[in-house]
Chains A and B, each alone.
Chain A
Amino acid sequence: MYKFILRRLIIILPALFLVSIVVFFTSEALPGDPSMQELMNRPDATIEEIMKIQERYNLDKPPLERYTLWLKGTLKGDLGKSYTFRTDVANLIKEKMFNTFFLGMTSLVIMFSIGIPLGVFSAKYEGSLFDRTVLGYNFFTLSVPSFVLGILMLYYFGYTLGWFPTSGSINPSVYDSGTQIQKLGSRIYHVILPAFTAGILSTTTIIQYLRNEIIKNKGKDYVKTARAKGQTENIIYNTHILRNSFLPISSVLGFYITGIFAGSVITETIFSYPGIGKFFLDAINLRDTPIVTGLVLFMSILTLMGSLISDILIVSVDPRVRID
């Protein structure tokens, strides 16, 4: 087991290194030079002032040196300074990270609380009207693009019906002067729509996996043996069938963690939810390279971690999966 984790980590390290190179040099190509910005704003700026700006952001050094400086800083936790906000990129990311994380966790809860019952019961009553409805729901949800669902939810529940807020992660007045409970309540209130959007779309995988696994296991010989031995139907169901059917879910979890941050870009933009997804887009539009570089590296690392966790989960939960 530890050998497996070790082997995966060894593979990931060079991948991380390569990713950092790719991230840095593609971001390098991003247009948006703050020293030129300054020149445009103040045409009468002196050469020294322009050079000072360049120096501040290490722009006067050759690319390789810039990369090494950046890499060294990153390993220490310093992702550079933002062009527009004049503060550390790392701090900015930290603030937004919490929001995205909150959104991700809430979506996960919704995904499981809707997906698992639907999957389990549609398999239990295979062929019934309920089952067929769930299958129809699944098909529909699979086909819907995420931003379509988001826009429609925002339009109906946000604007037309006014049931939920249409932007932000927390009510500003509550943020300033509310109690912890009030703050939590406001956060939940703001996160419901986007979390619901993201969560619903992910239920499809869970429902599919669960339903397929349970139906497959229902017909297996060990179930028939249990029945022949006189075991009650309920116990057969819960201990034998369900326990085995939940195994592939672990792979879903892993992929979900990986996908949280990619999907967040669209969902957060639609709902104007201030997480790192929306922050990424804002930074791109502001041509703020340090933020973009830092964010992309961060999100790449998260994706890598996600896939590692996914692999570990699958291997540890399902004894059938060979470690190759």
Chain B
Amino acid sequence: MLEIKNLSVHFPVRGGILNRVLSVVKAVDDLSIKIEEGEAYGLVGESGCGKTTTGRSIVGLNKITSGSIFYNGDEITSTIKKNNSPIREHIQMIFQDPYSSLNSQKTLYQIVAEPLRNFGNRSEEEIRKRVLEMTLQVGISEDALYKYPHEFSGGQRQRIGIARALTLNPAFIVADEAVSALDVSIQAQVINYMEEMQGKFNLTYLFISHDLNVVKHLCSKIGIMHKGRIVEEGTVEDIFENPQHIYTKKLLSSIPTEHPRDREKVFKFRKEVAKLHKETEHLFYDESGRPYDLKEISPTHKVAIKEVNNV
């Protein structure tokens, strides 16, 4: 459904007397992802690996240095940059920070109604009906329609953000760290809502997160990102049961465990991974530290490694 081909996003580093461009920061470096319809693809990595930049590039919030984006076969790389592009009725985004993603000066009604005013020439009646419909969908009652964002909790605000993103009935949603700013208990709640929405409205997700656990629950396919590139891609089983890339292993080893009995096991695992990293780094990263291109090791599992027989 959505395909990213060789996406690169470089940010210039300026300096010197005349403010010349000294070098570039390669936030996204030759990245390619294919997301099928109905899938939930989890893009995972630490801060600064480029996953948010990728997400933002898809919806046109970033300037793309090179590469292309395809939606259902059509290239949308240039059209996605315009605010009023009709593709917006198909691709939408949920944001990370519940405290700044809603305009504090606007009521819930105004916030959810905003997209409806941009497309479709709807009458005020129609808008009101739709806003009410979406608000109830995310579990917020009608009498809260004219409240302001600060009157809602963080979890409620994220749900409002979800409602807002779904008003135009899009088919593809980019969720950029949609639950990272919430308390753990609320995270579960919001993720459940997202699952529900996916089933009801037949949505396709690109779920960006730094938390492997969260992604495990919601997503069918996972892509691990490091230094602007995908270093491993596969199903949930592939990644969790059979991780190949040392970075994936590092991420997995850093998940804290709640069982005191497992503490020893996990501790040993971490040390192993650290040792493995030192020994095998050259297999996964070239001399400049850049990860290699992805190579297939099974129909669903890809790894960024120098040569396949090193597995």
* Chain A contacts to B: CB under 8 angstroms: 3, 6-7, 10
B22 at the interface (CB under 8 A from A): no
Q: What's the nearest-Cβ distance from chain A to residue B212, in Å?
A: 34
* Chain B contacts to A: CB under 8 angstroms: 16-17
Q: What's the nearest-Cβ distance from chain B to residue A10, in Å?
A: 7
Q: What's the nearest-Cβ distance from chain A to residue B49, in Å?
A: 26
Chain A positions within 8 Å of B16 at CB level: 3
Chain B positions within 8 Å of A3 at CB level: 16-17
Give complex CA distance A10, B17 in Å: 9
Residue on A nearest B17 in the bound complex, by CB: A7
Give complex CA distance A263, B66 in Å: 55
Give complex CA distance A7, B15 in Å: 12
Give complex CA distance A6, B16 in Å: 11
Chain A positions within 8 Å of B17 at CB level: 3, 6-7, 10
Give complex CA distance A3, B16 in Å: 8
Residue on A nearest B14 in the bound complex, by CB: A324
Give complex CA distance A7, B16 in Å: 9
Chain B positions within 8 Å of A10 at CB level: 17
5 A-B pairs within 8 Å (CB atoms) are namely: A3-B16, A3-B17, A6-B17, A7-B17, A10-B17
Residue on B nearest A4 in the bound complex, by CB: B17
Chain B positions within 8 Å of A7 at CB level: 17
Chain B positions within 8 Å of A6 at CB level: 17
Residue on B nearest A6 in the bound complex, by CB: B17
Q: What's the nearest-Cβ distance from chain B to residue A111, in Å?
A: 35
Q: What's the nearest-Cβ distance from chain B to residue A6, in Å?
A: 6
Q: What's the nearest-Cβ distance from chain A to residue B91, in Å?
A: 36
Q: What's the nearest-Cβ distance from chain B to residue A95, in Å?
A: 40
Q: What's the nearest-Cβ distance from chain A to residue B234, in Å?
A: 43
Residue on B nearest A10 in the bound complex, by CB: B17
Give complex CA distance A253, B258 in Å: 59
Give complex CA distance A39, B290 in Å: 84
Give complex CA distance A32, B16 in Å: 49
Q: What's the nearest-Cβ distance from chain B to residue A151, in Å?
A: 46
Q: What's the nearest-Cβ distance from chain A to residue B300, in Å?
A: 48
Give complex CA distance A10, B16 in Å: 13
Give complex CA distance A10, B19 in Å: 13
Q: What's the nearest-Cβ distance from chain A to residue B15, in Å?
A: 10
Give complex CA distance A3, B15 in Å: 11
Q: What's the nearest-Cβ distance from chain B to residue A207, in Å?
A: 34
- 5 closest A-B pairs by beta carbon, nearest first, are A7-B17, A3-B17, A6-B17, A10-B17, A3-B16
Give complex CA distance A44, B17 in Å: 62
Q: What's the nearest-Cβ distance from chain A to residue B12, in Å?
A: 15
Q: What's the nearest-Cβ distance from chain B to residue A312, in Å?
A: 16
Give complex CA distance A3, B17 in Å: 6
Give complex CA distance A66, B16 in Å: 39
Q: What's the nearest-Cβ distance from chain A to residue B63, in Å?
A: 21
Residue on A nearest B16 in the bound complex, by CB: A3
Give complex CA distance A10, B18 in Å: 10
Give complex CA distance A315, B61 in Å: 34
Q: What's the nearest-Cβ distance from chain B to residue A323, in Å?
A: 10
Q: What's the nearest-Cβ distance from chain B to residue A58, in Å?
A: 38
Residue on A nearest B15 in the bound complex, by CB: A3
Give complex CA distance A7, B17 in Å: 6
Q: What's the nearest-Cβ distance from chain A to residue B281, in Å?
A: 35
Q: What's the nearest-Cβ distance from chain A to residue B17, in Å?
A: 5
Q: What's the nearest-Cβ distance from chain A to residue B162, in Å?
A: 39
Give complex CA distance A76, B16 in Å: 33
Q: What's the nearest-Cβ distance from chain A to residue B21, in Å?
A: 15
Q: What's the nearest-Cβ distance from chain B to residue A13, in Å?
A: 13
Q: What's the nearest-Cβ distance from chain A to residue B16, in Å?
A: 8
Residue on B nearest A7 in the bound complex, by CB: B17
Q: What's the nearest-Cβ distance from chain B to residue A122, in Å?
A: 35
Q: What's the nearest-Cβ distance from chain A to residue B13, in Å?
A: 13
Give complex CA distance A281, B179 in Å: 67
Q: What's the nearest-Cβ distance from chain A to residue B19, in Å?
A: 9
Residue on B nearest A3 in the bound complex, by CB: B17
Q: What's the nearest-Cβ distance from chain B to residue A224, in Å?
A: 28
Q: What's the nearest-Cβ distance from chain A to residue B257, in Å?
A: 34
Q: What's the nearest-Cβ distance from chain B to residue A14, in Å?
A: 14
Give complex CA distance A69, B16 in Å: 37
Give complex CA distance A7, B14 in Å: 14
Q: What's the nearest-Cβ distance from chain A to residue B276, in Å?
A: 40
